[in-house]
A and B are shown apart, each in its own frame.
Chain A
Amino acid sequence: MRLPVLLLAAWLAIGSAVADAKVYIDIASPGSHRVPVAVPEFRLLGPAPALSAQLSDALSSDLAFTGFFDVVPRGAYLEAASQGATEGITAGSIDFRRWGLIGSHLLVTGGMSSKEGNLRLELRLFDVLEGKMIVGKAYVGHPDQARQMVRRFAGEIVRAVTGLEPIFDTRIAFVSDARGHKEVYAMDYDGSSVSPLTEMGAITMSPTWSPTGSEVTFISYRAGSPDLYSLDPQSKHIRRLYAARGLAMSPAWSPDGSVCAAALSFEGNTDICLISREGKLLKRLTTDSGIDCEPSWSPDGKRLAFVSSRGGSPQVYVLDVATGAVRRLTFAGSYNTSPAWSPRGERIAFAGRAGGGFDVFVMNADGGNVQQLTSGKGSNEEPCWSPDGMLLAFSSTRLGGSRIFVMNADGTNQRPVGPAKGRQTEPAWSRQLGTQ
């Protein structure tokens, strides 16, 4: 599942001349401006494993995945100015004008060589308009780790251009019934490296990550009815977090990881409660006679968005944890569910009934400015945010069976990730796990 720790014999910052304070992407409105970047094939600087095409393509797709970049297609590249001479990979040997002429603002060059059986990969990001290097790194390691090196540099690019922490070391947990019944799985942010997380042997669902990524908490019918369990994804150690007399579901760890919100039933009626890390019921937050479930924390840990039928149909409400005050957020539509509060704080995604199925919507945290992000064939449900708040994962049946999809936060570029066999649902996106 996890490749061994990157073997770095040297990690040289090649005179990293970081461009000062230039804003490449305004992350407050990222969809409005994607930065064009060119990623020509990496050069062989000496004898080296023949990897260059795949690696430069891998870097291109990592960058494209984030939604921050428009990768300039290779077909648009201009011929090198001087015949016979190959452009180099360092600033002094690059003709930035020809990259500027095709509309590229950024350029990434790569050079590979072998060193005592190891691969040495030099990567540099340039500002085409200023003709300067923004960041450069050299990685040395086993050729098998080439993909990780590229991901790591993609992360450097994202940091330099957006100021955000990259998502290339995040994982998405999800539910699949590919093995005959529902269990929890995980995959990388782009759908690669799928692996099973649970082998409960019973209906198992609704995964959620703890804030540090050290735990995945989920529901399982292992003991006959829905209880809460927690799993350490590294050691696979499972503990039962909460065994309910009725049902226990919708686990959601607070942003500081100190408590888990959950929906527990009392005499048939489901309410939002808080459970301690040790599995003790701390507080019951709702007591009305409607169904209350699916809590989602605000990033400041003070409020919970949740679903309640107290108004006659399932709608999204917000609850102040300290005071218990409740306010309704959704008023349009007969069935609104699965709220997901953006880690950036200002927006809440949810699934709203539309036609025969559901679609993914976003609204402001006060309920205003509702926008529909999906439409058309199939049902789109269970939205969840990437930790940088720039992407949304959700489940969609538009291709027939249920698959996990990812889209930019503005609804563009909706694409499937992960397995196709069986039905995949309930994505949960980890924070950065820091091991790549």
Chain B
Amino acid sequence: MLRKLLIIMSVTLLLVNFGCAMKSICPAAGPGTSAGAAPGSAPQLAPGGDIVTPGEEGLTSPAGTPVGGAAAGDHSAAAAKFENQDVLFDYDSFELSPAAISVLDAKVKYLKANPGKRVRIEGNCDERGSTEYNLALGERRAFAAKKYLVNAGVDATRLDTVSYGEERPADPGHDEAAWAKNRRDHFSVL
């Protein structure tokens, strides 16, 4: 399977235009989502092709498998706690509740104590609602957390964001208990 994927990727390399080296693995960089893009400016492919290759974490993970628990690298207790605490949201909302804010404050502490660490903020939704609207809502949630962290003094370039919409639930159940766990920002140390 991996070999087949590599062959497909090599063939695709020959065919993809736009002059971007999209398959280069850059350990430090992620999809560039720094706060520099002004509203209305054209979102650009980050120059130099610094894009992370397709989720090697959870590439084929079935829905319901929490992603990000086994981030490459840091397994210290502080990092584990950082990653295991999700920021939770109300239905169809990206507002930060007081509980969310206290979780984020703890994350600010960790990030200030570990200045070398980069983080990916993954926005998620519960399964209700349309797939696409949920992608957009997840994006909103990821950005809400990022904005809070930046305002608290964390350097924006250390924070990547991505939305998984309803695609990567933490809990595969179909009740409010599960849904509440899925409406979250999950933080992965890169």
Chain A residues in the interface with B (C-beta under 8 A): 177, 180-182, 199-203, 205-206, 221-226, 237-240, 243-250, 263-270, 279, 281, 284, 287, 291, 293-294, 307, 309, 313-314, 335, 337-338, 351, 357, 381-382, 425-426
Contacts and interface: CB of A to CB of B under 8 A. Distances in A.
Which interface residue of B129, B133, B136 has the most chain A CB atoms within 10 A? B136
B167 A182 contact: yes
Given A224-B55, A263-B136, A287-B40, 17 more contacts: A181-B62, A206-B131, A206-B132, A223-B22, A224-B54, A240-B20, A245-B31, A245-B33, A267-B37, A270-B136, A270-B139, A270-B140, A293-B133, A309-B92, A313-B92, A314-B129, A338-B130
A225 to B, nearest CB: 5
A202 B161 contact: no
Contacts of B162: 224-225, 247
A281 B43 contact: yes
Q: Which 4 A-B pairs have the closest CB atoms?
A: A268-B143, A270-B136, A245-B43, A202-B54
A268 B144 contact: yes
B15 A250 contact: no
Interface string B47-61: 000011111000111
A238 B40 contact: no
A223 B39 contact: no
A426 B92 CA distance: 21
Contacts of A223: 22, 31, 51-54
A263 B136 CA distance: 9
A248 B42 CA distance: 12
A239 B15 contact: yes
B44 A245 contact: yes
Contacts of B149: none
A201 B133 contact: no
A294 B130 contact: yes
A397 to B, nearest CB: 10
Given A239-B15, A268-B161, A281-B42, A201 B59 contact: yes
Contact of B135 (A202, A224, A247): A247
Contacts of A281: 42-43
Contacts of B42: 281
A293 B132 contact: yes
Contacts of A224: 30-31, 51-55, 162
A318 to B, nearest CB: 17
A250 B133 CA distance: 9
Contacts of B139: 246-247, 265, 268, 270
B133 A314 contact: yes
Contacts of B78: none
Given A223-B54, A238-B15, A307-B130, A267 B44 contact: no
B167 A199 contact: no
A244 B131 CA distance: 18
The residue in B31, B51, B59 that gathers the most chain A C-beta atoms within 10 A of its C-beta is B31
Nearest to A226: B135
B15 A426 contact: no
Nearest to B140: A268
A240 B23 CA distance: 12
Contact of B130 (A245, A248, A351): A351
A351 B63 CA distance: 23
Contacts of A202: 54-55, 59
B46 interface: yes
B182 interface: no
Interface string B132-168: 1101110110111011000000000000011110010
Given A247-B135, A247-B139, A181 B60 contact: yes
B114 interface: no
B106 interface: no
A140 B39 CA distance: 62
A313 B130 CA distance: 13
A221 B31 contact: no
A210 B153 CA distance: 46
5 contacts: A199-B8, A239-B18, A266-B43, A293-B136, A337-B129
A127 to B, nearest CB: 46
Contacts of A270: 135-136, 139-140
B76 interface: no
Residue from A237, A264, A265, A426 with most neighbouring chain B CB atoms (10 Å) = A265
A316 to B, nearest CB: 11
A165 B32 CA distance: 47
Contact of A247 (B15, B44, B163): B163
B77 interface: no
B28 interface: no
B131 A426 contact: yes
B70 interface: no
A239 B133 contact: no
B91 to A, nearest CB: 10
B5 interface: yes
B16 interface: yes
Contacts of A381: 130
B72 interface: no
A284 B15 contact: no
